Chain A
């Protein structure tokens, strides 16, 4: 080519490149389908539950982010219902294919009930378009509990809003008091646990001694407090640790067998132990749920409390901040001397309403992508939430943000969820009845209670067509008395 030609070609090329570089960002911004629009989103959350509240309180930050990054306005409205009524509200609205709530903060057990009728979006379908959702979680249990349904498959239906485990909140001022220490040593021949590491080695049997030591009704102090209320899942959540740590199971997810698995000797033993703990708790503990447990601890009525990490901010207030430490709860000592802990996982996943129209669906996805950005997760942690993302939890200085984080992380790998079954609600109600019947003394033999619960649950699953296994003939005579 002659010089004239090549120079003009070069100029042409430069102009092209320049105009492209100016046009492209605009093209990319213009690519977002919702630019310039205003979308109203509704979130259904759990009333009076701090982590759920946080998800909602932080949404204005997303509005800012969406405006800057994507160019659309979004406003959020919230609806709340307490735990025991939330599923009813969610199910009623989703059953009618309503768009009333675009995003729902669900409890982890409900995943099956919401996924089975396809009321919520299957996250695994979104993964290809939105690789941001391929997040590395702190522990495999996160995926199993907050995402997977049915158990054992690879289908993901939710994304963890927050993780939650049971921790032991301890009044360290009582434990570190020299008089208490010497009295305890004199009486039981062992040391009162002082540090996190000490508590890691405590078994249920040793915990019983500690609880007994601190049970002083005349002074208005009790050793510990759990939850035994028939409401929602409170009783089950605090009984499972005893049963599971002893090696009990609740069902076989592959074929839906419950009878024979739930009513096992290990589970019966767990119930006996769990009931025995009542002796060291305030007299009303038989009716305690989360709220009463918090009150007992913050009103200085108990020396220790088994409680969810999610309500850490409620358990630790200005009055008792210097007196509280949070440690792993006890387990069962195995033959080789190690402690086996298997507790129930709490926490809630975000689920997306499958009936959202395109605009709301897009916003929901954008919102969730923003939720898992490191900055957002850090802010969430600072405000008292429990993130589940591995990189966040392992970041430097994370443990010191809140006193319960160390115990939370420790217990995450030692927790499990129970069934993710569509009929979970009915099954839960049946076992709540059975478990509380034994704990209150209505039924004298734990095996009878377990038998009844197993029969009921097998019947529920069988009649709903979820399993081919029928309850055995002996179930016709099973009675809760």
Chain B
């Protein structure tokens, strides 16, 4: 590389590189030697982050201190923390938040349990005929356009025209209004979310189980360890990380859920299924009250950040613990 005598350029010229090649090599060299190389690598990602994320976020944050409704035509009015106080004192917002928590717990809980169980089931099936096809079919719910999912499940759940009630009438003799009956609406909506995202958790579980080193598994089998101990001492320590990451991703996404519920019930009946995402959407898009909805978004974001930080902290601890062990 560097000649014993003279500069690299000398060496290159001696090597017979053309002028162009030398310029290019020089540029590369400059890049390589630059102390700022790591920084340069980060520049694109930071540009993206600032332009498409920080700018809107700061706008939202800024707006949250104003009383501003785009459609009244009147200019924004500074009200300090007025929006925040209104939100925190607003009973329906707390209702929406609690509904959101219930939804997240229910959805992520069921999806994780089902996903792990089914993932386990599919784990040992490498000899299954058509495994690829079966798994593709299994993953299909995640791929269907949410707009179509919502539309068709509305039809499926419809008491007069839908399959679901038809089956209920056939087998149970009664009729259930899945989306219109207050006691059923939650379960119906939850069921659709579970249907859509359990495959994701199955995928995560398969990956998590796959991350367990084969050597240890074989050792456990040879040693004749019972399954419960196998899970606790061999599988879990390795699989935990990916599994928890998957749970984290799902939690973040279901906290924001809006599209699905909006399509199925619009937050109804009444406001039984009104989660924070829907309240936000209505205030931002029907009322165009940018200040209030901005404040709510900031609050939701803070909650999400708080939970994620705690979660990642625990995750990191477990990972550090595993590496130390």
Contacts and interface: CB of A to CB of B under 8 A. Distances in A.
A binds B: yes
Interface of A: 87-88, 91, 95, 113, 116-118, 229-231, 282-284, 286-287, 292, 295-296, 299, 301, 422-423, 425-426, 428-429, 433, 436-443, 460, 463-466, 479-480
Nearest 3 A-B pairs (CB), nearest first?
A: A117-B73, A437-B270, A442-B270
Contacts of B71: 91, 95, 113, 116-117, 422-423, 425
B271 A442 contact: yes
Given A283-B177, A287-B180, A231 B271 contact: no
B267 interface: yes
B106 interface: no
Given A286-B177, A286-B180, A287-B179, A433 B270 contact: yes
Contact of A423 (B69, B179, B181, B270): B69
Contact of B182 (A301, A442, A460): A442
Interface stretch (B195-203, B207-215, B250-258, B282-290): B282-290
Given A282-B160, A423-B287, A463-B67, 10 more contacts: A118-B73, A284-B162, A284-B179, A286-B177, A286-B180, A287-B269, A423-B71, A440-B182, A465-B72, A480-B92
B72 A292 contact: no
Contacts of B286: 87-88, 425-426, 428-429
Interface in B276-315: 282-283, 285-289
A425 B287 contact: yes
B72 A117 contact: yes
- Chain B interface size band reads 35 or more
Nearest to B69: A464
A480 B94 CA distance: 13
Nearest to A85: B285
Contacts of A286: 177, 180, 269
Residue of B67, B73, B181, B265 ringed by the most chain A CB atoms within 10 A: B73
Given A282-B160, A429-B287, A463-B67, A229 B266 contact: yes
Interface of B (DSSP majority class):
loop
Contact of B72 (A296, A442, A464): A464
A433 B271 contact: yes
Contacts of B69: 423, 464
Contacts of B91: 479
Contacts of A438: 270
Interface of B: 67, 69-74, 91-92, 154, 158-162, 165, 175, 177, 179-182, 265-272, 274, 282-283, 285-289
Given A118-B73, A433-B271, A231 B285 contact: no
Given A231-B266, A425-B287, A437 B271 contact: yes
A459 to B, nearest CB: 9
A425 B288 contact: yes
B266 A426 contact: no
B159 A436 contact: no
B177 A284 contact: yes
Contacts of A463: 67
A287 B189 CA distance: 14
A376 to B, nearest CB: 32
Contacts of A460: 287
A477 B57 CA distance: 34
A6 B175 CA distance: 101
A439 B181 CA distance: 11
A426 B289 contact: yes
Contacts of B268: 229-230, 287, 433, 436, 440
A290 B286 CA distance: 20
Contacts of B287: 423, 425-426, 429, 460
Contacts of B267: 230, 433
B282 A429 contact: yes
Nearest to B179: A287
A296 B155 CA distance: 12
A333 B13 CA distance: 105
13 contacts: A88-B285, A95-B70, A117-B70, A118-B73, A283-B165, A284-B179, A286-B180, A287-B154, A287-B179, A426-B287, A436-B268, A442-B271, A466-B72
Nearest to B272: A442
A163 B269 CA distance: 31
B29 to A, nearest CB: 48
Contacts of B266: 229-231
A425 B289 CA distance: 11
B289 A284 contact: no
B73 A116 contact: yes
